[in-house]
Amino acid sequence: MPEDEWLDVAAAAKRHECSTKSIWRRVWKGNLPARTEKVDGRDGRPVIKTLIRVSDLDRAFGLTAHIEHVRKIREAAPPLTREQTTFIAQVFMDHLLEQEAKRRTEVAVETAFARRYKEGVARD
């Protein structure tokens, strides 16, 4: 899609997989430049549309916007305490152990089923 192309609010929301309200919010706050224009509607009557340039959408929703957002969050967040770090590590280890136990149980069940199936086939 060419960067000098303009999209209406609904098309912009669909393109960036968000709600039209998110697009409107950015326009109202001045974070996303937009213009209004009278265009022909579906039935030929003129309607007023708010149009947003594709390049402005890419800047607002693109990778640079995400990186900037993450940077601001990291700057504002205090560092983790030793207790928090220890707790997170413990939760992670517990999760890994649970996953390993679940995997072992599934393997044991599959093995037992295969053994019973073989025995049943051998009897026939």
Q: 3-12, 16-25, 47-56, 82-91 — which is least confidently predicted?
A: 3-12
Residue 92, SS3 per DSSP: helix
Q: How far apart are CA 124 and CA 114, in angstroms?
A: 16
pLDDT at 118: 73
User: 123 or 97: which carries more pLDDT confidence?
Assistant: 97
Q: Could you read off the pLDDT of 45-92 as tens digits, one per residue? A: 999 999 999 989 988 888 677 778 889 999 999 999 999 999 999 999
Q: 4-8, 61-65, 68-72, 101-105 — which is least confidently predicted?
A: 61-65
User: 19 or 68: which carries more pLDDT confidence?
Assistant: 19
Task: Pick the closest to residue 10 from 2, 42, 29, 96 (CA basis).
Answer: 42
Q: Between helices 63-76 and 54-61, what is the axis angle to 10°?
A: 30
